[in-house]
Amino acid sequence: MNIRPRRNRKSAAIRDLVQETQVTTDDFIFPLFLLEGTDAKVEVDSMPGIYRLGIEVMLKEIETCLKLGIKAFDVFPVVPEHYKDQTATRCYDEGFFYQKALKRIKQEFPEACIMTDVALDPYSSDGHDGIVVDGKIVNDRTLEVLGKQALSQAACGIDIIGPSDMMDGRVGYIREVLDENGYTDVSIMSYTAKYASAFYGPFRDALDSAPKSGDKKTYQMNPANQQEALIEADLDTDEGADFLMVKPALAYLDVIKLLKDHYSLPIAAYNVSGEYSMLKAAGEKGWLDYERVMQESLLSIKRAGADIILTYHAKEFAQLNGR
Ligand code: PBG
Q: Are 66 and 60 in contact (CB under 8 A)?
A: no
Residue 4 lies in a domain: no
Residue 15 lies in a domain: no
CB 272 less than 6 A from any atom of ligand 1: yes
Catalytic amino acids?
A: 194, 247
The pTM assigned to this predicted structure is 0.97
What percentage of the chain's residues is helix, strand, coil (to nearest 5)?
A: 45, 20, 35
Give residue 104 CA to ligand 1 midpoint distance, Å: 24
Work out how many domains the chain is built from and give that number. Answer: 1
CB 252 less than 6 A from any atom of ligand 1: no
CA distance 243 to 268: 7
CB 74 less than 6 A from any atom of ligand 1: no
The closest alpha carbon to 193, from 143, 127, 123, 243, belongs to: 243
Instruction: Look up the domain containing 273 and give its range.
Output: 25-321
Give residue 200 CA to ligand 1 midpoint distance, Å: 6
Residue 218 CA: distances (Å) to CA of 130, 172, 240, 281: 11, 20, 24, 31
The closest alpha carbon to 116, from 166, 81, 150, 80, belongs to: 150
Give residue 163 CA to ligand 1 midpoint distance, Å: 11
Residue 77 lies in a domain: yes
- 248 prior amide bond cis, ω within 30: yes
**pLDDT tens per residue, range 93-143:** 999 999 999 999 999 999 999 999 999 999 999 999 999 999 999 999 999
CA distance 197 to 223: 7
Q: How confident is the model at residue 280 (pLDDT cuts 50, 70, 90)?
A: very high
**pLDDT tens per residue, range 211-221:** 999 999 999 99
For residue 215, what is the domain's CATH number? 3.20.20.70
CB proximity list for 106: less than 8 A, separation 6 or greater: 112, 114, 156, 157, 158
Residue 14 lies in a domain: no
CB 46 less than 6 A from any atom of ligand 1: no
Residue 12 lies in a domain: no
Residue 2 lies in a domain: no
For the cut 60, the answer to whether the pLDDT of residue 323 exceeds it is no
For the cut 70, the answer to whether the pLDDT of residue 319 exceeds it is yes
**pLDDT tens per residue, range 175-194:** 999 999 999 999 999 999 99
CA distance 220 to 73: 24
Residue 13 lies in a domain: no
Q: Is 276 helix (H, G, I), strand (E, B) or coil?
A: helix
Residue 147 lies in a domain: yes
